Amino acid sequence: MVFCSEFNNYGVFAFEDGLDLQDPERRYEQITSFDCSYLCISICEIQGSVNGLLFLNPLSSISDAYYIFNPLTREYIEFPYEQRLLDIDFNGTVNYGFGVSKVSGQYKVVKTVHVKKSICHVYTLGTGKWRRIPAGPKLGENTNSSGAFLNGCLHWFVEDSKNPNLISCFDLETETFSTFPCPPSLSLYKRYQVVVALGGYLWICDNTDELVIAFWVMKEYGNEKSWTKEFVIRKRHPHCYGQPRGIVYPIKLFDDGHVLMTWEDEFNTFSEMYYYSNKTKTTAELDDCKVFGVSSGGSPMQAVPYTPSFVSLRSFPNEYVKSYKWF
């Protein structure tokens, strides 16, 4: 996974099949780290991770560029905002996505803005420019508006009063939108739900219920009848039960049934790390400083699944590639 604290301090961690928090060796290791402050950017958030590349969105009001990083090669590129889609002084929703097409192998950033209507632009790495394409349905808004990348497609919840239980699917090869249903028994209230790609499957993590967190998996991609409620985590008093629900984002599903996840407090939008033990059937908050050697200290924290690679950004023409120092 990639763990980020304070929006600029990043660590890359590798796990074995299990994570025993009672084991002094803890069965993980830190691969590398980097600090965005070297770029004179105060804060960034991760909006996507594909084949070892991270798509970072600066949150600074003075920034006018996005970033693609490879933490292993220490390379990064910056590319400009689509000037007609600046995020300043408008009351609307913005959804991002980052993935790679299945046939051509092109890496693409997708940005959809909705004010009175939806407008979609695509940036293909190596072209140096944005293109406007026909937009799909209005996408839902929550604190995790990044598209889940799986099978050459990006996925978001759809915000549609007539058809509220749909997932939008954007094919990066054909650059077209389609939809398919969520599980029929899933709550229509999407504020505490998130769609993620994990372990080669599409998942929905539903924290709507006050007592349990439900994890749904699409066992056969594209087959709406294959949605299965894979497991349910009961919230444990006093650490979880009665706590603000917020977005629960699974980071790692271990072979033994344990789950590593982040849990966002809906009132302050800060996340904490939690660990569900399938052995004890309990969920406990982790001390990030003790467990991973990095500290969020009650400050903004983000963690996402990550697969390292040595993909060189220099393989993309028309992009100015820079290298950054070891941290």
The per-residue pLDDT for range 244-295, each reduced to its tens digit, is 578 899 998 887 788 889 888 766 556 788 888 888 888 878 765 555 555 5
> Exposed e or buried b for every residue in 41-71, given b needs 16+ CB within 10 A?
bbbbebbbbbebbbbbbbeeeebeebbbbbb
Q: Which amino acid is at 153?
A: C
Peptide bond into 137 cis (omega under 30): no
* Mean pLDDT, rounded, for 293-314: 78
- Which of 211, 251, 218 lies closest to 233, judged by CA? 211
Residue 170 is encoded by which pair of tokens?
């954007």
CA distances from 273 to 50, 54, 153, 176, 249 (A): 22, 21, 28, 36, 10
DSSP, res 290:
H
Spatial distance between the Cα atoms of 19 and 10, rounded to a whole number of angstroms: 20
Spatial distance between the Cα atoms of 220 and 243, rounded to a whole number of angstroms: 34
> From the centroid of its chain, how far is CA 109?
14
Spatial distance between the Cα atoms of 243 and 67, rounded to a whole number of angstroms: 35
Residue 24, pLDDT score: 43
Instruction: Specify the DSSP element, H or E, that contains 289.
Output: helix 288-292
Residue 6, pLDDT score: 76
Spatial distance between the Cα atoms of 155 and 26, rounded to a whole number of angstroms: 33
Spatial distance between the Cα atoms of 306 and 48, rounded to a whole number of angstroms: 9
**Cα angle at 316 between 312 and 319, to 5 degrees?**
110
Residue 327, pLDDT score: 46
> Which range has the top average pLDDT, 57-66, 76-85, 155-164, 211-220?
211-220
| CATH, domain range 2-323 | 2.120.10.30
245: Cα within 13 Å, side-chain hemisphere: 17
Residue 326 is encoded by which pair of tokens?
């070891």
* pTM attached to this predicted model: 0.89
Residue 42, pLDDT score: 56
DSSP, res 116:
S
Residue 243, pLDDT score: 56
115 pLDDT more than 80? yes
The bridge status of strand 301-304 relative to strand 2-5 is antiparallel
CA-based torsion, 32, 277, 263, 204: positive or negative:
positive
Residue 221, pLDDT score: 95
Residue 82, pLDDT score: 65
Residue 169 is encoded by which pair of tokens?
């699917």
Q: Which residue has the higher pLDDT, 112 or 17?
A: 112
Contacts (Cβ under 8 Å, ≥6 apart) of 292: 3, 11, 13, 28, 30
Q: Domain extents for the chain?
A: 2-323
**Residue 149, beta-bridge partner list:** 154
> Which range has the top average pLDDT, 43-47, 299-303, 308-312?
308-312
Three-state DSSP state, 221:
coil
- Ordered strands of the 107-114 beta sheet: 93-100, 107-114, 118-124, 130-133
